[in-house]
Amino acid sequence: MWNYVNELSLKVLQREGRFLSADDFHPFTQGAGEAGLNLHSQTSQAIGEEYATRRKQPRKTKLRSRVSGGSRRSLRWIL
């Protein structure tokens, strides 16, 4: 879900030139549980809110997933 929200934010920025707020993600993530993700609607809304908060703080257009540089690589965003 995090990767979907990240790509959606980037596409809207490229097309319309604006950043999505936390409330703007709700219509796009509506029905994710019915599509087979087995997520509650509050969970998908919380992911959208968290993404909007994390993107706004460093003023980045696209957030990168966390990767360690060691021999054991961390799992990227799973949701």
Residue 76 is predicted with a pLDDT of 53
pLDDT tops 90 at residue 44: no
Among the listed residues 53, 40, 11, 44, the one whose alpha carbon sits nearest the alpha carbon of residue 25: 44
Greater model confidence, 20 or 77: 20
pTM over 0.75: no
Residue 75 C-alpha from the chain's centroid: 16
Residue 5 is predicted with a pLDDT of 85
**DSSP letter string, 26-59:** HHHHTTTIIIII---HHHHHHHHHHHHHHHHTTT
pLDDT in tens, 50-77: 888 888 766 666 666 655 555 555 555 5
Mean pLDDT of the chain: 76
